[in-house]
């Protein structure tokens, strides 16, 4: 039944001109001035700013009408919230409801972060970002918000199924289709950056792939506005050149210093350089997601948390092609894109999502990428590959023309006539 459901999106994506056209037509162009993407202090919108104030009262939220939602089942929990499936009597549909089960035991700042996540996510209206339907407080004064009920798999689970070798998933999720999914993730993050918001916790677990082709970025709990300061995050920087011992000591006392997921968080996040987090931190995480999609394993495999964070700060990333037991050969161009996105130095990464997408477009279309630093020889070879049929046609045409010229010359000189006699 599971396979029958997934077959509803049974169309093949291969890396050819048709695929490139489909992907490029599907992408929502987000033209953002690079100057607008620089981290700077900005005025937080009125919708969000009250939630950031310590004296913010939940009484300002709309109270949940009695009997509107009917509990159906628990979906899961993570961080400070639990998610359940409920039936919305007002709209006649099932939705997902996020709430705080132990709100009475939580700090007021934790409650504010929960409500803030709801408002911030609601602000991000985009086809590839999970939509929020309702925000309020229940009869006991506990905040909640409802959102689209998702059907399908997280990207992490999808990758696990491909890695396990399940034939249906290995055949369906080709390299081309995985790139199609990744492009949609980039669309969502590009839009968020255009709204001056950075996600800061991008990973396969926070990407949902629906059964009808939906790709949704979820869990914006760590997201921030450009230049926004989190009073709970100490800016206790670990020098990127520090010794192994001092770094290890820092990791052991990391609580309250850095937030994110080891392996997917950027070096500046892992090092506690909280003032340095900007759109390029998300670029690193996007690169880590692409790394996982290509290799079917997380970056820095075989390491514990402390080792992962240490390797992240040091930039000791193993290139995808150097891993053993790869599911398929990884094209050099894609590896170059991953390594550039995950560069230790933010200045040497892609500076915004548009740059990353342009390189992916180039790869899909058969062009050389900027990540490869291509020379004229490389560009010429890519041109020939892109236009192989046209090149063959003109070569044959020139060859035939040459044969005709030679035969004409032989006739004129009498050589061919003598030979025939």
Q: List active site positions.
A: 201
Burial class of residue 163 (count of CB atoms within 10 Å of its CB; 0-12, 13-18, 19+)? middle
State which H helix or E strand residue 230 sits in.
none
Q: 56 Cβ partners below 8 Å, 6+ apart?
A: 50, 112
CA 235 to chain centre: 26
| HSE (side-chain half, CA atoms, 13 Å) at 282 | 30
CB atoms within 10 A of CB 65: 11
CB atoms within 10 A of CB 17: 11
User: Measured between alpha carbons, how far is 262 from 254 in angstroms, rounded to an integer?
Assistant: 12
Place of tokens 């342009």: 358
Work out whether strand 152-154 and strand 69-78 pair parallel, antiparallel, or are unpaired: unpaired
DSSP class of 204: G
Burial class of residue 47 (count of CB atoms within 10 Å of its CB; 0-12, 13-18, 19+)? exposed
CB 186 within 8 A of CB 286: yes
**What interhelical angle do 279-295 and 353-365 show, nearest 10?**
30
> In the numeric block, which tokens belong to residue 205?
């677990």
CA 218 to chain centre: 11
User: Measured between alpha carbons, how far is 401 from 395 in angstroms, rounded to an integer?
Assistant: 10
**What interhelical angle do 332-341 and 279-295 show, nearest 10?**
150
CB 299 within 8 A of CB 317: yes
Distances (CA, A) of 418 to 29, 34, 303, 403, 407: 69, 74, 81, 19, 13
Angle 220-221-225 from CA coordinates, rounded to 5°: 70
């Amino acid at each position: 039944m599971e396979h029958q459901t997934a077959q509803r999106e049974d169309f093949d994506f291969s890396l050819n001109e048709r695929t490139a056209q489909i992907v490029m037509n599907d992408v929502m162009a987000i033209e953002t001035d690079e100057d607008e993407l620089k981290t700077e202090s900005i005025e937080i919108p009125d919708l969000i700013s009250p939630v950031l104030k310590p004296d913010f009262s939940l009484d300002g939220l709309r109270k949940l009408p009695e009997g509107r939602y009917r509990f159906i089942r628990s979906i899961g929990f993570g961080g400070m919230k639990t998610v359940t499936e409920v039936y919305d009597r007002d709209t006649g549909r099932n939705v997902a409801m996020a709430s705080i089960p132990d709100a009475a035991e939580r700090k007021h700042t934790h409650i504010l972060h929960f409500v803030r996540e709801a408002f911030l996510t609601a602000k991000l209206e985009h086809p590839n970002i999970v939509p929020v339907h309702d925000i309020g407080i229940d009869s006991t004064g506990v905040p909640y918000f409802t959102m689209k009920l998702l059907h399908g798999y997280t990207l992490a689970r999808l990758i696990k199924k491909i890695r396990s070798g399940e034939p249906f998933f290995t055949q369906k999720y080709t390299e081309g289709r995985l790139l199609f999914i990744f492009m949609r993730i980039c669309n969502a993050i590009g839009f968020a950056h255009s709204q001056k918001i950075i996600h800061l916790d991008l990973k396969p677990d926070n990407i949902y792939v629906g059964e009808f082709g939906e790709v949704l970025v979820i869990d914006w709990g760590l997201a921030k506005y450009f230049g926004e300061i989190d009073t709970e995050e100490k800016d206790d920087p670990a020098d990127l050149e520090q010794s192994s011992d001092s770094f290890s000591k820092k990791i052991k006392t990391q609580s309250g210093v850095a937030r994110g997921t080891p392996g997917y968080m950027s070096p500046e996040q892992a090092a506690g350089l909280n003032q340095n987090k900007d759109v390029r931190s998300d670029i690193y995480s996007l690169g880590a997601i692409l790394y996982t999609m290509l290799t079917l394993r997380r970056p820095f495999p075989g390491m514990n948390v402390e080792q992962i964070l240490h390797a992240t700060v040091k930039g000791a990333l193993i290139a995808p092609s150097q891993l053993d037991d790869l599911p398929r050969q990884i094209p050099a161009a894609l590896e170059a894109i991953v390594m550039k996105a995950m560069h230790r130095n933010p200045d040497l990464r892609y500076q915004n999502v548009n740059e990353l997408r342009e390189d992916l477009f180039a790869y899909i279309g058969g062009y050389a990428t900027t990540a490869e630093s291509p020379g004229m020889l490389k560009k010429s070879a890519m041109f020939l590959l892109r236009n192989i049929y046209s090149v063959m046609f003109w070569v044959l045409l020139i060859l035939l023309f040459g044969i005709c010229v030679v035969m004409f010359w032989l006739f004129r000189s009498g050589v061919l006539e003598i030979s025939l006699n």
